[in-house]
Amino acid sequence: MFQSLGDRLSGIFDGLTRRGNLSESDVNAALREVRRALIEADVSLEVVRGFIEQVRDRAVGAEVTKSVTPGQQVVKIVNDELVAVLGTEAAPLDLNATPPVAIMMVGLQGAGKTTATGKIAKRLKEKQNKKVLLASLDTRRPAAMEQLRVLGEQIDVDTLEIVQGQNPVEIAKRAQKEAKLGGYDVLFLDTAGRTHIDEELMAETAEIKAATNPHEVLLVADALTGQDAVNLARSFDERVSVTGIMLTRIDGDGRGGAALSMRAVTGKPIKLLGTGEKLEDLEDFHPSRVADRILG
């Protein structure tokens, strides 16, 4: 088990009964523990560095109120700062556009894009009564198209007819036409991933985006991505300007540091969390919950 930041800090501040303001040396000692906690939570080193400086600015000289210990005071400052970086409020998917509203799903292969598409579609249909069309643009893996079709059947949501020989842009355009003609509210464009970021993937993703001008571009990323989270988020955001991030496998062992890394480098909101393999395992992102998890 991880040691919580509170426990670590109470160790440091043990015997320190003095009240008043946090001194620079108190803060430095505490920040060493904060750094450790963030690195254990898989926040990328680059983001840890910037974050620690922000906390230092706020913590030195901060008044320790009577009701808390210095350790608790530092935990509170770190927690507030985490929430501030993660986004103080939940950021829902934005469907505020003329229908059909296109949502493009991007990310690496295996990140959970197709599953996420099914989860969100199911929620939109059941909770918001939306008429949804799903389209797989993965021309390299016929199994991916079939996977989406089966998912669609499972949740009773339409999928675009599979036509051999079209490229991803042609399929996306056909999907938009079909969505318009069929009176759909929302269209999901589930793009192909690759096992790692490469130029071909980025070029294809950018081309699809340019051709379809989706309202949302949701980057789907595995919460266990760890140190690579920064590269991943930055690469996708620079090339296709994502509108939000969905983190999957929050049910795994990780502590969600990728959320902080991705948000810090892109400034784009984490919108949704995948919390399991089942289609019901979808949650809105709550910054304070993830902050708690990162701090242990």
Q: Is there a binding annotation on residue 108? A: yes
With tokens 């840890």, the residue in question is: 48
Q: How far apart are CA 137 and CA 161, in angstroms?
A: 11
Q: Is 265 helix (H, G, I), strand (E, B) or coil?
A: helix
Q: Which residue is nearest to ligand GDP (CB)?
A: 274
Distance in angstroms between the alpha carbons of the first and the last residue of the chain: 9
Identify whether 214 is preceded by a cis peptide bond (ω within 30 of 0): no
CB contact at 8 A, 5 and 75: yes
Closest C-alpha among 114, 176, 119, 200 to residue 149: 114
CB contact at 8 A, 158 and 134: yes
Stretch that binds ligand GDP, among 60-68, 84-92, 162-170, 270-278 (CB under 6 A): 270-278
Cα separations (Å) of 287 from 19, 60, 115, 136? 30, 25, 23, 31
100 binds ligand GDP (CB under 6 A): no
Stretch that binds ligand GDP, among 49-57, 90-98, 248-256, 260-268 (CB under 6 A): 248-256
168 binds ligand GDP (CB under 6 A): no
The binder of ligand GDP chosen from 193, 214, 254, 287 (CB under 6 A): 193
* Count of residues in the chain: 296
277 binds ligand GDP (CB under 6 A): yes
Please state, as a whole number, how many other Cβ atoms lie within 10 Å of the Cβ of residue 13: 21
282-284 and 270-274 as β-strands: parallel, antiparallel, unpaired? Answer: antiparallel
205 binds ligand GDP (CB under 6 A): no
The binder of ligand GDP chosen from 23, 109, 139, 231 (CB under 6 A): 109
Cβ proximity to ligand GDP: between 113 and 130 the closer is 113
The binder of ligand GDP chosen from 113, 122, 215, 263 (CB under 6 A): 113
249 binds ligand GDP (CB under 6 A): yes
Cβ proximity to ligand GDP: between 257 and 274 the closer is 274
The binder of ligand GDP chosen from 101, 104, 111, 157 (CB under 6 A): 111
Q: How far apart are CA 145 and CA 152, in angstroms?
A: 11
Q: Is there a binding annotation on residue 190? A: yes
Stretch that binds ligand GDP, among 62-70, 95-103, 113-121, 155-163 (CB under 6 A): 113-121
276 binds ligand GDP (CB under 6 A): yes
**Binding site, annotated residues for GTP:** 107-114, 190-194, 248-251
Q: Which residues bind ligand GDP (CB under 6 A)?
A: 107, 109-115, 193, 248-249, 251, 274-277, 281
